[in-house]
Amino acid sequence: MIRRFSLRTTVFFLLFSLAVPFLAASAQEPGLIPRELLFGNPVRSSPQISPDGTRLSYLAPSEKGVLNIWVRTIGKSDDRQVSNDTHRGIKFYRWAMDGQKIFYFQDLNGDENDHVYSVDLQNSTVRDLTPFQGIKAEEILLSRNHPKEMLVSLNLRNRSLFDVYRVDLESGAILLDTQNPGNVLSWFADRELKVRGAMAQDTKDGSTSLLVRDDEKSSWRELMRWPFGDEGNVVSFTLDGKALYLETSLGADTTRLVKVDIASGRELETIAGDPKADMGAVLLNPDDYTVEAVSFNYLRNGWKILSPKVREDFANLSLLGDGEFSVTGRDNTDKQWIVTYRRDDAPLAWYLYDREKKKSELLFLSQPELLKHKLSKMTPVVIKSRDGLPLVSYLTVPAAFEGKRGLPLVLFVHGGPWGRDVWGYSPNVQWLADRGYAVLQVNFRSSTGFGKKFLNAGNGEWGVGSMQHDLTDAVQWALSKGIADPKKICIFGGSYGGYATLAGLAFTPSLYSCGVDLVGPSNISTLLQAIPPYWAPMKKQMVLRIGDVENDEALNKRISPLFHAQNIRVPLLIGQGANDPRVNIREADQMVQAMRAKGLEVAYYVYTDEGHGFSRPSNKLDFYGRVEEFLAKNLGGRAEPWKKIEGSSVEVR
């Protein structure tokens, strides 16, 4: 089976990564969940099973408090650390197909120029497989049929484009395999590790096309095209390589899973779809590549079972409880599965599921100490926008204040903006709720997962448009229901959510009591001028979705909070990574300068060894401690005492 491992992320999307504070927290206020328990590294996380099913790998802190890869034999307690990262911690890793090595990605201080490293499990030797300064490894492709090779996409030849390179995993030799013609965003290989599919973007009209070829010597030809506004992507080749499983919105509002003939482009079969939600994860049989199940997430995630082979397994896994599960690993015999189980009011859990015995064995919880605390429930709600659009949202009321009215409210805005909020455990949400705040998360128009009409309803609607109106309408809903105190409302977000924070304070200044902006842009024109070179093929789509701000100065000034800083009336806190490749530090610098020139209150914290979001434990602990004090001062919630954190790179500017 081909395994695709990608670090491609949605534009501006911010994942609030978990990190371990290795310093002891100060004395806790009674009842408070310690920040280090919420934002620290998990005790253990991200388990994977070796291809032969005999070993389990996972991430856990080293003695220095840095996330590393550990391996143990299933049924034994011979756990050993096999990697030795000493700075940022490892977040993504994958087993080699022969089980002799493990691969992981790592960048330098948040610059997102990831390298692929290989750990030899026989001697713990670590090798940089892509040792090129300033070069980004985008994804790797692996196949059972070729366990000694790997395909990796790199922007080595041209910083704007990713070519495919073939890596010999024994010698480390790397050779150019497939050259990018100039517009390819992602690559796909068949089970023989031959690159035969590519998704390309037209830089003139923003359309996306699927390119295919019969073999490595054949010319590329266009099989399908999605005009701007439609969504499509490749899931996998079929076993015989004669057809493709595709995600597509052509002919429908939401994306569905279809099977398409490679020779003719004819749709052979519609496999699964849902009228309300785009398709999510696809579970493929590792031997015959048939589709076994497809997930869909409207209010909550659920599975459509398509193969009788797994029906009983899914029924057994549903007995774990009222949370959500996903199959995140399988051994080569397909007798053992790694299952991730998620609830809203408990830490993440992982199970080893034995398909023959039909039994689930708990491997570990991400943070078992959280079981000593009462976490808050997250409730899905659908809020109507002023023009009638349904906004799938999530309301979390502090467990200690259930039923109480008039609570201080934090509107917590997701990044992307082409991403979404989902139901389930969130350290940020639990932290805010534990401090006494109701938390509202809104999937405003432009959020993904709800069909192309909802996605495209946000085109050209940044800042003063309906994307921001949706957030305003959600706050008004919370006020109308008596949930929120109108004098204690904060808007808080990262990346696009940071932009929405600035826009909320600048364009609706009487609605909020304070704001927290993490790595958010303030001037859309300078944002687009500073994007990484490898975003160039996607820029046309960004312009179509946002507006041509580089050529329309009036539009840029209308939607960029920088030019409306004088309207802000309430305190603002800004956090920024100095090495952010997506939202350049200039975005924060210029906003702070504009506010201070008007005598407005803004706290500004720069972390010199971070990028788009914070990874290092000391930096996360420092930042969230400062935010907690800021919120307590402006909203009146509880706060764990903050103190200077040794090792943090923070600069108070």
Q: Token digits for 437?
A: 């705040």
Q: How much is the average pLDDT of 307-319?
A: 98
Note whether residue 486 is domain-resident: yes
State the pLDDT confidence band at 259, using cuts at 50, 70 and 90.
very high
Count the domains in the chain: 2
Average pLDDT over residues 561-571: 98
CATH number, domain at 526? 3.40.50.1820
155, 180, 205 - which closes a domain? 180
Report the C-alpha gap between 416 and 414 in whole angstroms.
Answer: 7
Task: Confirm whether 269 is domain-assigned.
Answer: no
Mean pLDDT, range 317-345, rounded to an integer: 98
How does residue 1 score in pLDDT terms, banded at 50, 70 and 90? Answer: low
Domain boundary among 180, 195, 224: 180
Q: Note whether residue 219 is domain-resident.
A: no
Residues 485, 572: Cα–Cα separation, whole Å: 19
* Boundary-marking domain end, from 180, 209, 243: 180
0.85 exceeded by pTM: yes
User: What residues are annotated to the active site?
Assistant: 495, 580, 612
Summarised one tens digit per residue, pLDDT across range 149-196 is 999 999 999 999 999 999 999 999 999 999 999 999 999 999 999 999
Tell me how far apart the alpha carbons of residues 509 and 493 are, in angstroms, rounded to a whole number. 16
pLDDT of residue 24: 30
CA 399, 403, 407, 411 torsion: positive or negative? Answer: positive
404 pLDDT higher than 70: yes
Q: Is 90 exceeded by the pLDDT of residue 512? A: yes
Work out the pLDDT band at 646, boundaries 50, 70, 90. Answer: confident
Task: Quick: pLDDT tens for 581-595.
Answer: 999 999 999 999 999
Average pLDDT over residues 531-547: 95
Query: Is 484 within the bounds of a domain?
Result: yes
Query: What confidence score (pLDDT) does residue 4 get?
Result: 54
| Model confidence pLDDT, tens digit, residues 11-33 | 333 333 323 222 233 344 448 99
CATH of the domain at 138: 2.120.10.30
Tell me the residue range of the domain where 566 lies: 379-652
Residue 35 falls inside a structural domain: no
Q: Would you say residue 259 lies in a domain?
A: no
pLDDT tops 90 at residue 642: no
Residue 643 pLDDT level (bands cut at 50, 70, 90): confident
Does residue 390 register a pLDDT over 70? yes
Q: Does residue 74 belong to any structural domain of this protein?
A: yes
Q: Up-side HSE of residue 29: CA atoms within 13 Å toward CB?
A: 10
Burial of 5 (C-beta count, 10 Å sphere; 0-12/13-18/19+)? middle
Mean pLDDT of the chain: 94
Mean pLDDT, rounded, for 360-364: 98
Q: What is the pLDDT of residue 14?
A: 35
The string over 107-137, giving b where at least 16 C-beta atoms fall within 10 Å of a residue's C-beta and e elsewhere, is bbbbbbbbbbbbbebeeeeeeebbeeeeebb
Mean local confidence (pLDDT), 481-493: 98
| pLDDT tier, 383 (very low <50, low <70, confident <90, very high otherwise) | very high
User: Using CA atoms, how far apart are residues 320 and 482, in angstroms rounded to an integer?
Assistant: 35
